[in-house]
Structure 1
Amino acid sequence: MKLTNMFKSAGLIGSLALGAGLSAVASTAMADQEYLLTVTRPNQLHVIDMSTNEIARTCDIPGPFGSGAMAVSRDGTHAYVLGNNWEDVYGFDIRTCEMTFSAVQSTPTVQVKSFQSVAVSADGKELYTVQNPIKKHLDRFEILEPRLAVFNIEDGLNAEPVRTFPVDRRITKIAATETGEVILGGADVKAINPDTGETRVVTKLANWERGPLWLPPDAFAMHSQGEQANEYIMPYVTAKFDSEEWNFETAEWWWGMSRVDLATGKAERMETIPFQFIIFNFITDPRDPNILYGSFNTLSKHDISTNETLAVHEMPHTYYNLNISGDGETIYVGGTSSDISIHDSETLDKIGSIQLTGDMTTSDLRVATIRD
């Protein structure tokens, strides 16, 4: 080969290598960035880079600790946290910790509590809470009707509700659908139109009609971490008896769930696995809707298509909630204490840990995905 041809060949190979390297860099630059969000005492929002499992920044939330419940905007840039003893909502740009929204819900004469209920509309324009108000009289408290409060996020700091509508009691977790409704997790799962106040039953639970052999379900949504599968899960426990005598010792005990597709607002209700241990929260594997993970004193993996528990990992203490990476490979288990336990989703083996500055107690564990 002539020397000039050798240089040309080397130059071509170098160009190809450089091009491949630039493509890899560009691909990395364009990759989605996932952040794990949670709140700890005394009252701080932690933004954790899930590519390194390191705390990227910590945002101070005004006032005392609330419940740590939060909602994340669909573009992943903002988190809205329920604080001040369950009364106020504060919104932060998680990239800078700038507070961009606040809603003080109580007044000198009416105290408002929102029990875990905060959600953001799919278009990012509205924020929703369920307000449970009491009126303060000189000699007594008067319990007022619960209501859905609608805020315009663009109103920024010190926002006031632009609309309110009466809703049921016992509502905890709520979520906004892409069809414009707000899912209300209460005795039954309902949906409300936040423009008109019109409601519909999504799934009957306390009021289901399954005959005399089924125990009405015990349902409660403290945490609903469904952003990776774009869903809302209301777990419940029920039992099927072998006779109308309702012998609790011979009954079949089941975990079940109402699962709402937030893209369509449609729901499915089913018994998932036999009741063998307490599960405080379920999440779905984003790669397979039949695979669920649960947490409390154990981390567990289940196949609901066969009603089987596939794996169980004993935890060193109680963990109220969990979440999952977008690729479905990594489980994050948190809440209750000051550590987040990291696990391989295939085996449930522990692969890491994140130590925080305070207890999470009832706080959510959310994933914010910022897409380029």
Structure 2
Amino acid sequence: MKAGRCAQLALTIAATACAWAVQADDAGPALKAGQEYLITTNYPNNLHVIDVASDTLYKSCQMPDKFGPGTAMMAPDNRTAYVLNNHYADIYGIDLDTCKTTFHANLSSVPGEVGKSMYSFALSPDGKEVYATVNPTQHLNDHYVVKPPRLEVYSTADGLEAKPVRTFPMPRQVYLMRAADDGSLFVAGPDIYKMDVKTGKYTVALPLRNWNRKGYSAPDVLYFWPHQSPRHEFSMLYTIAKFKDAKQDPNEAELLYGYLSVDLKTGKTHTQEFADLTELYFTGLRSPKDPNQIYGVLNRLAKYDIKQRKLIKAANLEHTYYCVTFDKKGDKLYLGGTFNDLAVFDPQTLEKVKNIKLPGGDMSTTTPQVFVR
């Protein structure tokens, strides 16, 4: 390696180390045991912690590198937040007590390739491993080569220089993932897959594109929010057409909203329609208090009775929100995404309680997560 190149590399490493050290200079207070918190991220590159009891900003951590998408998940220790960031190219572990970066995985681990993960990462139930679906592109002098996607498995104990300890082929077009209590990995894609993270073998746990439900279309799913919900399930919304007859005329079909769920304790899958498709929702969650009630949000906040397939109530919003989140007991409902504020609602009345304004810019497609330290 040329001397100039060596010097440039040394300066880059030194600058990165200094930047990560600066993160913890103003770490703020450590989190308190037994206290309930909410994390969310926003531009320019912030990780915020909200005190759920008071609905106030508790502290903010500056993350390394660049923002995007800022998708965060809490580790089982309820101390470390793992964030897919740096333009979908890196995963970071941030200690919420100190704001220090304790884990880093660059998804471009193969020379000559650029790897990105489209919201597709998860944590093992014991917190010892991080899983990421990497979509690699080989950069050549005059063209790019799109390579097959792969699952990369990282050990969280490897810290800031984490490299894949195992890799396996993955189906194309996969996105959200959640690990079940037994260690198996559920992956959303053309279908919902169940994968053995030790062998890489997978089966179809819930057909979607290959749904053979008589009288119905295949469901359509657009979902980028990996909720760590109090119900401990891997859930997403879908839309579907219920046809009038064997002609399957889409102009005569009944368009419906539904949700799919994987119970992360038992592995059981479930699908259920709950509403006519009259408006769009980006996210929806069932109530921690009443599994027969589901809440959806985008341009309005709506509450449905699932069994009766009936709208109970809806609330107008000051602006669009992408993501709905509950506190652990289901007493509060938080709306996040888009701008730089969290809206707090009463789930029973759908009356707004307050807005929590965050320092910085918009939250984009981040997923607010609630946990108890």
* TM-score, normalised via structure 2 length: 0.88
Q: Which residue of 2 aligns with 1:138?
A: 141
Q: Secondary structure at the match of 1:242?
A: coil
| Unpaired stretches in structure 1, ≥5 consecutive residues | 1-29
Secondary structure of the residue that 1:154 maps to in structure 2?
A: helix
Q: CA RMSD in A?
A: 1.5
Structure 1 runs (4+) greater than 4 angstroms displaced: none
Partner of 2:157: 154
1:361 to 343, 361, 364: 364
Q: Does 1:40 align with 2:22?
A: no
Partner of 2:51: 49
After TM superposition, give the deviation of residue 31 of structure 1 in Å.
Answer: 7.8
- Residue in structure 2 matching 1:332, options 325, 331, 334: 334
Match of 1:291 in 2: 293
1:149-206, Cα deviation, whole Å (9 max, x unpaired): 1110011112001011111111111111101111101111111111111112111111
1:166 aligns with 2:166: no
AA in 2 matched with 1:203: L
SS in 2 for 1:187: coil
Structure 1 contact 185–221 (Cα < 8 Å) conserved: no
1:76-87 pair list within 5 angstroms:
76-87=78-89
Cα distance, 1:311 vs. partner?
Answer: 1.2
Count of equivalent residues? 340
Is residue 67 of structure 2 the alignment partner of residue 65 of structure 1?
A: yes
Judge conservation of contact 1:70–1:118 (CA < 8 Å) in 2: no
Q: Which structure would you say has the larger Rg? A: 1
Q: Is the 8 A contact 2:228 2:370 kept in 1?
A: no
In structure 2, what is the Cα distance between the partners aligned to 1:96 and 1:273? 45
In the alignment, residue 124 of structure 2 is paired with which amino acid? Answer: S
| Contact 1:122 1:178 (C-alpha < 8 Å) held by counterparts | yes
After TM superposition, the structure 1 = structure 2 runs for residues 1-372 of structure 1, keeping only pairs within 5 Å, are 32-107=34-109, 109-211=112-214, 213-357=215-359, 358-370=361-373
Partners of 2:164 and 2:256 lie apart in 1 by 41
Report Cα offsets for 1:4-61 as digits up to 9, x if no partner: xxxxxxxxxxxxxxxxxxxxxxxxxx98321111110011111111111111111111
**220-229 vs 57-66, which moves further:** 220-229
Q: Contact (CA 8 Å) 1:235, 1:282: kept in 2 or not?
A: yes
Deviations 1:82-101 (A, max 9, x none): 11100001101112212111
Shift in CA distance, 305/226, structure 1 to aligned 2, threshold 3 Å: farther
Identity rate, percent:
37
What CA distance in whole angstroms lies between the structure 1 residues aligned with 2:304 and 2:182? 30
Tell me the distance in 2 between the aligned counterparts of 1:226 and 1:299.
20
